[in-house]
């Protein structure tokens, strides 16, 4: 379990109960919960408890999701927060429609294609040199996402939904092993900045497991935004502090640890913050085994890549294959879809091209390359989504894949049947390492999700930096409908492994006969068009993993992949809420009753 601090819940439990339902405490029951009246699942029990209380007080799924996200900005500050961005998918029970909000960070107007190339050497910066700098910080979109979602669908004000998170920040939360390890892993970067050291390295040391960490600066920032609105952030006093931090990083006078790179300033301005706007693209949509699967369009590649892989897999009846062959096709479909993602998907991908990637005809062209007897040599080449069936045609292009690994995900449903699937991030665990002085939140390093130099040979690279451009993402918040009603909502953190995590859970649940808890717990492997399959040890050592090796799949080990949350909608209004049972220290799920 993660950071469930009993006294944090006291303010919420003191709310006067008006019904027997409201009198019951909204305590999460662990990584899996079943019940009625709404559900919340996240990586953190304190955040899940906050969301449940909002539902119990009459808030809807949007209100609860934003209250959960704001609380995760306190308890999971290295994965998400108001210094970052994300993608918000919403199912409206009244209309039966799925809508999305693109709250991805944007590059400043001063950014060029060569922003991550050292002008003195002509070579791209090392990743950590680019990351721990002002260069990597994009204009944050999280607060604008919350404001837009609440204005369109919420029942409560932003101020009211921020209040529980502010209380958690003031009172503090218990540091667990995961939190302490994330500080330890970032210690060298964090010590370079006076503001970051003061917050996350109190007394110059990694906070001890079991100690209480408070963030009064973030509480005050939430209070300020509650009073003055998001204008305080996008152009007001908070915005001015962000710009100062980006342009003149608050370097420590005598950092405790060495850092081998120059810490470079960025070019974000107050005008960049004032110009930020969320987008509302139509969701991606594919049909799979009779289900309607909705996801996120560009600049995320999550919806299109998951959707294309599902279309490829639908060419086989996985339920009638043995598990080895089903997983073989899952890995091959992932590689093929990633080849097309890398070649075609970026912020400015035309919608007709994105839709062409999701056609059945294009899926047939890609599926015909899969050989049941052996794994394809990787990387595979991208296909030609030209609207014609050209057999197994391919084109030229590289296969670079981004490997950012931070992010958090949450899933919420309310008693009216509305659903939110929300993935938010500051990119790397710890973002760019810089806390905005006096404001209590880390800035993102989202702009390192751009390709630093061209990756597609002589073909156009859709993910190079540019002024006002949004870097390609792998976030894949997904809502699955059956006969027009919610059947499943799910998402995960994990950088580019998000796509394969969501895809594998869908295959586990829809094709391989697993229950939702089993689908989340099953060992994972990710094939992102790379020479080897990155796999959890339990996958590569399983009978199927050994059998897959005889087909030519090789493995690179990774301790854990993803940290999903999901809700399944059962008969008669019953909800099954699931989080990871083990990964990232386990997640937290609960239902209203």
* Residues with active-site annotation: 407
Q: Where are the alpha helices (DSSP H) in 279-322?
A: 302-313
Distances (CA, A) of 325 to 9, 298, 499, 526, 561: 48, 32, 20, 16, 22
Long-range contacts of the stretch 381-386 (C-beta < 8 A, 24+): 381/339, 382/339, 382/340, 382/342, 382/343, 382/344, 383/336, 383/339, 383/340, 385/340, 385/344, 385/353, 385/356, 385/357, 385/359, 386/356
CB 194 within 8 A of CB 106: no
100 has which bridge partners? 89
Cα 77 to chain centroid, rounded = 14
| Closest to 450 in 3D by CA, of 119, 217, 113, 186 | 113
- How many Å is the Cα radius of gyration of the chain? 23
| Closest to 73 in 3D by CA, of 140, 8, 5, 168 | 168
Residue 95 CB neighbours (<10 A): 8
For helices 302-313 and 323-344, the axis angle rounded to 10 degrees is 140
Beta-carbon contacts of 550 under 8 Å, excluding residues fewer than 6 positions away, are none
Positions of E strands within 107-215: 173-174, 212-213
| Closest to 69 in 3D by CA, of 84, 56, 58 | 84
Whole-angstrom distance, CA of residue 454 vs CA of residue 68: 38
Positions of E strands within 212-333: 212-213, 284-288, 291-295
3-class state of residue 417 by DSSP: coil
| Closest to 477 in 3D by CA, of 284, 291, 280, 345 | 284
- Peptide bond before 144: cis, by omega within 30 degrees of 0? no
Structure-token pair, residue 505: 């859970």
Long-range contacts of the stretch 8-11 (C-beta < 8 A, 24+): 8/46, 8/49, 8/167, 8/168, 8/171, 8/172, 8/173, 9/46, 9/49, 9/53, 11/164, 11/167
Beta-carbon contacts of 95 under 8 Å, excluding residues fewer than 6 positions away, are none
- Peptide bond before 379: cis, by omega within 30 degrees of 0? yes
CB 550 within 8 A of CB 587: no
Tracing tokens 């999305």 back to the chain, one arrives at 100
CB 422 within 8 A of CB 65: yes
């Amino acid at each position: 379990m993660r950071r469930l601090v009993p006294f944090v819940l006291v303010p919420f439990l003191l709310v006067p109960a008006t019904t027997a339902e409201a009198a019951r405490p909204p305590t999460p029951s662990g990584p899996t919960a079943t019940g009625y009246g709404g559900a919340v699942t996240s990586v953190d029990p304190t955040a899940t408890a906050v969301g449940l209380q909002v539902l119990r007080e009459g808030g809807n799924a949007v209100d609860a999701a934003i209250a959960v996200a704001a609380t995760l900005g306190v308890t999971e500050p290295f994965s998400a927060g108001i210094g970052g961005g994300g993608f918000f998918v919403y199912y409206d029970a009244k209309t039966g429609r799925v809508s999305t909000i693109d709250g991805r960070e944007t590059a400043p107007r001063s950014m060029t294609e060569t922003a991550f190339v050292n002008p003195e050497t002509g070579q791209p910066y090392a990743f950590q040199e680019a990351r721990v700098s002002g260069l990597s910080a994009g204009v944050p979109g999280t607060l604008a996402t919350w404001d837009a979602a609440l204005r369109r669908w919420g029942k409560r004000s932003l101020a009211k939904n921020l209040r529980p998170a502010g209380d958690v920040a003031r009172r503090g939360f218990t540091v667990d092993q995961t939190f302490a390890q994330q500080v330890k892993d970032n210690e060298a970067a964090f010590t370079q900045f006076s503001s970051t050291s003061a917050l996350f390295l109190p007394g110059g040391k990694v906070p001890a497991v079991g100690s209480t960490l408070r963030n009064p600066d973030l509480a005050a920032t939430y209070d300020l935004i509650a009073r003055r609105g998001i204008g305080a952030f996008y152009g007001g006093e908070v915005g001015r502090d962000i710009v100062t931090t980006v342009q003149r990083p608050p370097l420590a006078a005598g950092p405790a640890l060495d850092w081998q790179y120059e810490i470079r300033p960025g070019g974000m301005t107050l005008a960049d913050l004032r110009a930020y706007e969320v987008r509302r693209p139509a969701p991606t949509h594919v049909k799979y085994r009779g289900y309607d699967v909705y996801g996120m369009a560009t600049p995320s590649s999550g919806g299109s890549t998951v959707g294309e892989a599902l279309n490829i897999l639908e060419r086989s009846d996985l339920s009638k294959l043995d598990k080895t062959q089903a997983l073989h096709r899952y890995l091959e479909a992932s590689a093929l879809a990633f080849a097309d993602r890398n070649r075609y998907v970026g912020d400015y991908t035309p919608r007709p091209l994105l839709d062409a990637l999701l056609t059945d005809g294009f899926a047939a062209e890609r599926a015909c390359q899969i050989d049941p007897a052996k794994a394809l040599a990787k990387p595979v080449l991208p296909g030609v989504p030209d609207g014609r069936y050209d057999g197994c045609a391919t084109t030229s292009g590289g296969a670079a894949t981004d490997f950012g690994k931070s992010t958090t995900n949450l899933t919420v449903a309310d008693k009216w049947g509305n659903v939110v699937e929300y993935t938010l991030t500051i990119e790397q665990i710890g973002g760019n390492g810089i806390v905005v002085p006096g404001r209590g939140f880390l800035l993102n390093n989202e702009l390192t999700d751009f390709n630093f130099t061209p990756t597609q040979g002589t073909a156009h690279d859709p993910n190079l930096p540019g002024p006002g451009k949004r870097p390609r993402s792998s976030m894949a918040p997904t809502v699955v409908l059956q006969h027009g009603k919610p059947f499943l909502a799910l998402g995960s953190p994990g950088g580019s492994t998000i796509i394969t995590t969501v895809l594998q859970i869908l295959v586990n649940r829809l094709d391989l006969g697993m229950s939702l808890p089993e689908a989340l717990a099953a060992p994972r492997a990710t094939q992102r068009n790379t020479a080897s399959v990155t796999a959890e040890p339990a996958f590569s050592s399983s009978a199927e993993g050994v059998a897959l090796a005889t087909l030519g799949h090789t493995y690179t080990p990774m301790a854990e992949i993803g940290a999903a949350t999901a809700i399944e909608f059962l008969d008669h209004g019953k909800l099954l809420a699931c989080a990871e049972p083990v990964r990232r220290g386990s997640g937290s799920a609960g239902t209203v009753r």
